[in-house]
Amino acid sequence: MNKDITPTNKDDKPHGLWERYFSNGQLYYKGNFINGNRNGLWESYHYNGKLTYKGNYVNGNQDGPWERYNTNGNLTSKGFYINSKEDGPWEYYYNNEQLSSKQYYI
């Protein structure tokens, strides 16, 4: 049984809440499309069910705060995107979530 939720609009473009699942039944990702473009909060997950990333899209571009996680669910990086480019301060973490470095993007 296919549990994926993939609605489209009248032009057959992705539109609405999308959810995809791994073969083991774990959620792979979820987020909204508007007329074929990702919009709003998106979340993606590892095969084990732990969060891979969460972040915001505007008209198909990464825009706003983002966080990434390793397969154990530990934070590996966080920062901001504007038009799918890193912007401003980003922090990177070791596997134990101790800060490893900071970078600033312009």
Confidence of residue 2 (pLDDT cuts 50, 70, 90): low
User: Bigger pLDDT: 66 or 2?
Assistant: 66
In the chain, the number of structural domains is 1
- Domain with 20, as residue range(s), is 16-105
Please report whether residue 10 resides in a domain: no
Query: Are 105 and 82 within 8 A, CB to CB?
Result: no
- Look up the CATH number of the domain holding residue 84: 3.90.930.1
Lowest mean pLDDT of 1-15, 39-53, 88-102, name the range: 1-15
Judge whether residue 1 has pLDDT over 50: no
Q: What is the pLDDT of residues 10-59, one digit of tens each?
A: 999 999 999 999 999 999 999 999 999 999 999 999 999 999 999 999 99
Structure tokens at 91: 């922090």
Establish if 86 belongs to a structural domain. yes
Residue 77 near residue 83, CB atoms below 8 Å? no
What is the pLDDT at residue 3? 81
Q: Tens of pLDDT along 50-81?
A: 999 999 999 999 999 999 999 999 999 999 99
